[in-house]
Amino acid sequence: MNYFLTAFCLGLLATGHAVNAQSIEQKMTSMGLVLTAPSKSAGNYVKAVRTGNLMFLAGHISTRADGSTITGKLGKDLTVEQGYEAAKATVVSLLSTLKAELGDLGRIRRVVKVTGFVNSMPDFTDQPKVVNGCSDLLVSLLGDKGKHARSAVGMVALPLNAAVEIELVVEVE
Amino acid sequence: MNYFLTAFCLGLLATGHAVNAQSIEQKMTSMGLVLTAPSKSAGNYVKAVRTGNLMFLAGHISTRADGSTITGKLGKDLTVEQGYEAAKATVVSLLSTLKAELGDLGRIRRVVKVTGFVNSMPDFTDQPKVVNGCSDLLVSLLGDKGKHARSAVGMVALPLNAAVEIELVVEVE
Amino acid sequence: MNYFLTAFCLGLLATGHAVNAQSIEQKMTSMGLVLTAPSKSAGNYVKAVRTGNLMFLAGHISTRADGSTITGKLGKDLTVEQGYEAAKATVVSLLSTLKAELGDLGRIRRVVKVTGFVNSMPDFTDQPKVVNGCSDLLVSLLGDKGKHARSAVGMVALPLNAAVEIELVVEVE
C-alpha cells in the first residue's frame, strides 16, 4: 500500500487527473485485477491508434492474467457465466493498453463504443449476457464515463479459438 | 393532422431545423412508420454516445412496432425479402434512438457508417440485399444525408436470434 | 516510366504532398499493383464518407484486378496463404477508393482502424494470419502512417462468398 500511497501523492502534485487515475487502478487492485504490460501485436498493426480525441483500440482476445488465451465456443464449450468472466478478463487487457497509451487512466473521458465479438454456436443467442462481463466492469471502474454504446454479435470463429474478442472506441484527454 | 400542423408551426418558431425534422417524421408517418420510445438497454450500456459531432449508436436488433423481435436465420428461416423488411424495421428503432438523443431528427447531418450484421446460414451470401432494407429507407427519409459507407456481413448467431443487428455512426449538429 | 516521371514533376510543382503520393503509387506499380476505377456500389450506400478528418470506408470484399470476386471459406476452400493474398488484393480496392475520394494518396495521414472479416469454418482460428495480407501491404506502402489498430474475426458467410471483407477508418488531410 505504501507504493500506491506514494504514487497517489506524487500524482496529486503532478496533475489534477491523478486522483481519478489512482482511483481506477486502486479499484482494480481491490478487485484483484492487475494491469499487465501489453503484449506486442503479432503483425504490422498496433494495439491502439489515436486520432484527435478518439482512441481506437484493436480487438483484444480473452486472456488470463498469465497471458494464456481463454478459449472455447459459447453454446458448446463454455457456459454463459464462463463467457461473462472471459469478457471481464478482456477489459483488463484493454485497460492495460489504455494505460500504456495514456500513462494515466484518468485521461479516459468516455468509453464511446464497445464491440463484443462472441465465439458462438449457431443456436447460442445470449451474446449480451456474455458481453455484460465487459460492460459491468467498465461501469464499475469508470462510473458514468464507462457507459458505452455497444454491439454484441456471434462469430463462427475467433483467433486462437478465443471465447471473445472486444474492441473499443474511447474519448480521451 | 392537426397535431402535426401545430407541431410544425411551433417547430418553425422554435428553430430553423424544424422544417427538416418535421419533414422526416412526416415522411415516416406517410409511410406508416412510427417512432417509438426507445427501449431501455438491458445492461450497463446505453443506446448512443456522442463524442464531438459524432454519435455512435449501439447495435439495434430487428424489432416489430409492438416491440417483439424479428427472428430467424437468412438461408433457412427467412427469405431475402423478409430480411429486407427486418432491416427496414430496424431503421425505425435507430431513428427512435436518434430522436430521443437529438430531440429533432433535423439535427442529423450525415449518416456516416452502417454496419449490418445478418444472421446467416454458411451458404447465404446475399447480406447486401438484406441490408438494403436499411440503406433504402435511410436514403428515402434523409436524402443525400442518408447516404452512408456500409459493411454487410454474415453472423453465425445474434442476440435473441434476431434476423439482423445494425449499428450506426452519425454526424450530428 | 516517362508518364510517371512527368506526373511526378507536375506533382512536385502542384503540391507538397505530391512527393509522398507519387511515392505510394510508384511503390504500388513496382509491386505490380494497379489502382482501379472504384466499382459503383450496388445500393443506396457509398464507398466512403468523410466526417471531419476521418474517412470511413465501406466494407470492401476481396476482388481480383479483373473485378472478379475472390471466393471461398478459410479452413475449407482456401489455404491461409490464399487468404493472405485475398486480403492483400482487397487493399488495392480500398486504396482505389481513397484515391478517388482524396485525389492524392499523400493526403492519408494515418490508417486508424482495420476491421478484417474473414469467411471462416467454425474450426478456423488463423484470422490474424489472413488479415496480415492487408496489414503488411498497408505498412509496406505507407510506412508508419499505415500502422493501424485492427480486429480480425471469423464470419460464417460473406457477400458473394468473398474470402474476406475489410473496412477502414482513415485520418486524412
CATH fold for the domain made of A35-172: 60s Ribosomal Protein L30; Chain: A; (3.30.1330)
Q: Which residues of B touch A52 (CB under 8 A)?
A: 52
Å from C117 to nearest chain B CA?
8
Partners of residue A109 on adjacent β-strands: none
Q: Which residue out of B88, B109, B111, B112 would a mutagenesis test of the C interface target, given it has the greatest number of C Cβ atoms within 10 Å?
A: B112
Cell numbers for A64: 488470463
Is C157 in contact with B152 (Cβ distance < 8 A)?
Answer: no
pLDDT tens column, A128-152? 999 999 999 999 999 999 999 999 9
Could you tell me if residue B160 is left (phi over 0), alpha (psi between -120 and 50 degrees) or otherwise beta? left
In C15-119, which ranges are continuous DSSP H helix? 18-30, 80-102
Q: Which amino acid is it at A71? A: T
Q: Which residue out of A125, A136, A140 would a mutagenesis test of the B interface target, given it has the greatest number of B Cβ atoms within 10 Å?
A: A125
Is C147 in contact with A45 (Cβ distance < 8 A)?
Answer: yes
ipTM score here? 0.87
Q: Which of A127, A148, A155 sits opposite B45 (nearest CB)?
A: A148
Count CB atoms within 10 A of the CB of residue C3: 7
**What proportions of chain A, in percent to the nearest 5, are helix, strand and coil?**
45, 30, 30
Q: Which residues of A touch B43 (CB under 8 A)?
A: 128, 131-132, 135-136, 150
Residue with cell 419533414: B23
Is B44 in contact with A122 (Cβ distance < 8 A)?
Answer: no
Residue A121 pLDDT > 70:
yes
Q: Which of A45, A122, A160 sits opposite C149 (nearest CB)?
A: A45
Residue C104 pLDDT > 60:
yes
Residue A52 pLDDT > 80:
yes
For residue B17, the model assigns a pLDDT of 46
> Measured between alpha carbons, how far is A107 from A119 in angstroms, rounded to an integer?
32
Query: Across all residues in chain A, what is the average pLDDT?
Result: 89
For residue C19, the model assigns a pLDDT of 45
DSSP B15: -
For residue B42, the model assigns a pLDDT of 63
Cell numbers for A104: 494515466
Q: Which residue of A has its CA nearest to C75?
A: A157
Residue C109 pLDDT > 70:
yes
Cell numbers for C138: 498497408
User: Among C114, C98, C107, C102, which Cα is nearest to C149's?
Assistant: C114
Q: How confident is the model at residue C13 (pLDDT cuts 50, 70, 90)?
A: very low
Å from C103 to nearest chain A CA?
22
End-to-end CA distance of chain C: 28
Sign of CA dihedral C124, C128, C130, C131: positive
Residue ranges of chain B whose pLDDT lies below 50 = 1-2, 4-19
Q: Can you give the residue ranges of every domain in chain B?
A: 35-172
Å from B61 to nearest chain A CA?
10
For residue C21, the model assigns a pLDDT of 53
Cell numbers for B12: 418553425
DSSP B42: S
Is A151 in contact with B51 (Cβ distance < 8 A)?
Answer: no
For residue C2, the model assigns a pLDDT of 46
Q: Which residue out of A78, A112, A156 would a mutagenesis test of the B interface target, given it has the greatest number of B Cβ atoms within 10 Å?
A: A112
Note the CATH number of domain C34-172.
Answer: 3.30.1330.40
